[in-house]
Structure 1
């Protein structure tokens, strides 16, 4: 079967490629319907990765946040027309200790392997999950990002101590919004405090118990645990500020991605006995539990819908370029693509 794949061949250049694709045993065919642009996709598109990484990974189809409709499933697991979320992480082995998203052997779509920007997606049936009928597909398009936040919180539950009176979240962007929202749902008795720099963005966090500008935090404020959702070079300031305000033996979850090394105040990490862990991507279990959480708490989707800042109809390659440009210039929220190609 001939399939159209839309690959980034060099920064800001996307080309259509026609590929002969054969189904492997256990694969199904899905027609993408909605996608969402992630910061990682944007970095590739803009060429904001080091030149060696770009040479190694391009050409490559972008986008790892997507939903679609099943076209054909020869295994009989899904019916044609079933709405499903696509899981970008693709493990080839199981480990009794290491989760699938940390296995070095796992492949990840739109990071060295083609993402979902294609006419059809050929994917293993265990890498899709059927969506509830009542979920908004625009919101569902970035369930992958929600599952990443959920994964970090799930690990936090097992790694942190039980005193969770105050949990701080550093970051007023999309990940900070989603992470603090899920924390409020999953720890209703905890005070969720959000720390950011942009007052306009912080105004969206209406579900949080408190919000603070990072330059105006009361000196006597203390948190039991903290989540870093900033990323980039600013993560250094965020991590060290969390260390300053965290109580002894608190846990710090690092979720923001930085291309460069950052300096951390290890003296105070040692003095306070701080537990610090990194969290990246997510696995099928996180997708399943995230969808279940949203299904049981419908107001989560209402809050997530407020993150949809741009919706772009994709009928041509130029529309893809316009979508990435729109997203790049967007101050807050997610850019959702209605995929018509």
Structure 2
């Protein structure tokens, strides 16, 4: 038997006991160690995700240990999981872009995921952990891969001056990744005082739009020219309308956050400044491999994990994030 944190309907969670899943050929059974709550999980919990159907074991950020020998991995191997399931047949898949497969599916959304004592995962989705990486950090590789993908797709250049809007998990991961790869300046913009202090404690310049005009401050910090790269990790209309104003001429805007509704964007300013805008989605296997390596060398990533809770406290974990209390990354332990 095993414990499973199960989505039962809008704002309804249940921690249930159920049988361990059967293991088909080509898959392995993992004993789960840590599983994180993502913004997508909050969307599912709210009943707003178009594909997630109850009952569902959520969780696509998780780590664990292989229970029994598989074809490729031996029992006892510590791993994380690349949670994307692509069709392999559509044009994106056939041209090396399977992360934007036309029928892309994810563990924890379209199939049961990692918020359980055990999970069955296809061996081709397994990412072995480096020796120095704990299982706790192993469950954090997925959001770091999002940041890696954003930099690689966003045309980041060594030494770029960068702005990150939003100091949630992804925003802080982007900021740390920028610094690790040599950004000359990283400014973090955030309204939540707890998250803003976390960014400041990590050594970043910070701006609170509730207390000062971020446009004026950012232009002042860039001698009036704007920043090379601007990352939107907030996904709020009050941010989208400012993006083209704080980026430099011929600069780059990277849209990392998922906007749930149409948002304002100053397109004429984009034309006058000849700005490029890159939208990004999830990550590739290569991004995951880079993130798995980088996480060993950036100890600050672990500071983003503010809470570790037992599965029995699943509701409290979601309440922390839904209520925007003093939390950033909440993980469940099994």
Q: TM-score range by the shorter chain?
A: 0.7 to 0.9
**1:285 offset after TM fit, Å?**
1.8
* Corresponding residue number in structure 1 for 2:41: 41
**1:202 offset after TM fit, Å?**
2.3
**Aligned counterparts of 1:174 and 1:70: Cα–Cα separation in 2:** 27
Matched ranges for 1:1-341 at <5 A = 6-11=5-10, 12-14=12-14, 16=16, 18=18, 21-47=21-47, 49=48, 53=50, 57-75=53-71, 77-93=72-88, 95-157=93-155, 162=157, 164-186=159-181, 188-205=182-199, 206-208=201-203, 210-214=205-209, 215-217=212-214, 218=217, 219-220=219-220, 221=222, 222-231=226-235, 234=236, 236-295=237-296, 297=297, 300=298, 302-314=299-311, 316=312, 319-329=313-323, 330-339=325-334
Normalised to the residue count of structure 1, the TM-score between the two structures is: 0.85
**1:208 offset after TM fit, Å?**
4.9
Per-residue deviation, residues 213-256 of structure 1 (Å, max 9, x unmatched): 3333334432111111102xx2x221222210111111100011
Give the match's secondary structure for 2:242. Answer: helix
Are 1:72 and 1:79, in contact at CA under 8 Å, matched by a contact in 2? yes
Give the match's secondary structure for 2:16. Answer: strand
Give the match's secondary structure for 1:23. Answer: coil
**1:60 offset after TM fit, Å?**
1.6
**1:65 offset after TM fit, Å?**
0.8
**1:290 offset after TM fit, Å?**
0.5
Alpha-carbon RMSD across the aligned residues, in angstroms, is 2.5
**1:184 offset after TM fit, Å?**
0.6
> How many positions carry a matched residue from both structures?
319
Give the match's secondary structure for 1:281. Answer: coil
**Aligned counterparts of 2:254 and 2:333: Cα–Cα separation in 1:** 33
Are 1:65 and 1:142, in contact at CA under 8 Å, matched by a contact in 2? yes
Give the match's secondary structure for 1:72. Answer: coil
Structure 1 residues 230 and 190: CA distance shift in structure 2, 3 A: same
**Aligned counterparts of 1:118 and 1:334: Cα–Cα separation in 2:** 18
Structure 2 residue runs without a partner (length 5+): none
Normalised to the residue count of structure 2, the TM-score between the two structures is: 0.86
Are 2:186 and 2:205, in contact at CA under 8 Å, matched by a contact in 1? yes
Give the match's secondary structure for 1:148. Answer: helix
Structure 1 residue runs without a partner (length 5+): none
**1:320 offset after TM fit, Å?**
2.1
- Deviating 4+ runs (over 6 angstroms): none
**Aligned counterparts of 1:189 and 1:63: Cα–Cα separation in 2:** 32
